[in-house]
Structure 1
């Protein structure tokens, strides 16, 4: 699923980034732009955790106008718990009194530098994903096992499979007010780079509506034709981004 387009932005300083003990990526200077909201954006990316649940839900509800195309709370809980390392968010630090407008502002977490202005980390866009043994995104890979929290869950093809070599992107979303300014592209490129660099999969796969296909093709995804997935009513196209790895003769 995909929503939103992407901005170039301003470089963050270490003091402006909350320390959640995860890997942060500061957006480089060559992707800088001015924000139309008060002040400039200082974006950075980091893996998502279950602590980001409410922000992810608020972003999903804002980005997808059709409720049938949104991931449910239960799916977010499952994915952020089981494979949060495959999920990436793009954030900025905001003074709540600045007049900054975002649907995720109320769910932002206070930064850990004890600032007097009560600055919070606000989610602007996210990529939520899981791994599968399938080569394409399917209804099975986009579902989740209902007994996953039990002590003895039953073996199932549904949901996340750690040994899978395909990463399925379930949600690629940017807040409506920040679409069209490069944030989605910045987030997607950061995600592709991180997953390719990790060497944990052979490909990325997702489904998208026809008006988003060209956007993904510019990021190196290949259109594999109409998808059989009926999530959200169907009408999707399969898109795949293949990774290539260099193998050294000295291994």
Structure 2
């Protein structure tokens, strides 16, 4: 297990290219009943990748210098990226996380979301909604205890604050995580009506205060 914050970490959006890495991380972090399916993760990365963010460890190619010592090349190139943290979100019609907010909508024969369905009947990602629902905020077990979840979420909240994407971030969490989310600034809204994975959850919400970088 890592003893200190790893070197060469970076935070960037995750895309369909990172699908398997996201699935592997969910498997390492969640019991089977709470994991998102491959189809759900792929749907979220395809239709709203801007609402997901990954924490990676980068490995760079190295060269030997004249003293036979390894040094980074003049123009550093990334050899590998290891996903160790993930936030995955969608826009939710409801102002709390619900079972339907985690589902996949029925698609047209062309593989597109049916836009003729009224917003209040939609499941999954609802682009016109103002609630950003986080369905995963996870750090690989080998890298916990280093405030990396806090780092990842604060970066995420800052990015959402710089964009006109929503008015609040919502999520559900187990009761044991109440202190963590309250420390991040979330409001504890009490027991959730959502029974994802057959478990009991607590609803949380934090407003998005929009800032202007100009």
TM-score over 0.5 for the alignment? yes
Question: Counting strand residues as a fraction of each chain, which structure ranks higher?
Answer: 2
Report the TM-score when normalising by structure 1.
Answer: 0.71
Q: Quick one: distance in 2 between partners of 1:52 and 1:186?
A: 20
Equivalent in the alignment of 1:147? 107
Tell me the distance in 1 between the aligned counterparts of 2:151 and 2:111: 38
CA offsets per residue over residues 108-136 of structure 1, 9 Å max, x none? Answer: xxxxx785xx8201111000000012111
Tell me the CA shift for residue 201 of structure 1. 0.4
Give runs of aligned pairs for residues 222-233 of structure 1, distance below 5 A. 222-233=187-198
Q: Does 1:219 align with 2:179?
A: no
Partner in structure 1 of residue 54 of structure 2: 89
8 Å Cα contact 1:131/1:162 also seen in 2: yes
Q: Is 1:135 the counterpart of 2:95 in the alignment?
A: yes
Q: Deviations over 1:41-89 (max 9, x none)?
A: 221111111101000000000011x101111101001000000011000
The equivalent position to 2:79 in structure 1, one of 119, 132, 151, is: 119
Q: Which runs of 5 or more residues in structure 1 are unaligned?
A: 1-34, 97-112
State the SS of the aligned residue for 1:119: strand
Q: Which residue of 1 aligns with 2:152?
A: 187
State the distance in 2 between where 1:40 and 1:246 align: 31
Report the alpha carbon displacement of residue 245 of structure 1 after superposing the two structures with TM. 4.1
| Aligned equivalents of 1:137, 1:122: Cα separation in 2 | 29
TM-score by length of 2: 0.83
* Residue 151 (structure 1) shift: 5.1
Partners of 2:112 and 2:142 in 1: how far apart? 43
Alignment counterpart, residue 47 of structure 1, candidates 4, 9, 13: 13
Could you tell me how far 1:94 is from its partner in structure 2?
2.5
- Give the equivalent residue in structure 2 for 1:210: 175
Task: Let me know the Cα RMSD of the aligned residues.
Answer: 2.5
CA contact (8 A) 1:228 1:234 kept: no
Provide the C-alpha distance between the structure 2 equivalents of 1:123 and 1:48, rounded to a whole number of angstroms: 10
- The number of aligned residues is 194
What do residues 154-211 of structure 1 show as CA deviations (whole Å, max 9, x unaligned)? 6241000111000000111110100111111100111111111212100000000001
SS across alignment from 2:162 = helix
Contact 1:205 / 1:238 at 8 angstroms: preserved in 2?
yes
Report the alpha carbon displacement of residue 234 of structure 1 after superposing the two structures with TM. Answer: 2.6
Offset, 1:147:
2.5
Larger radius of gyration: 2
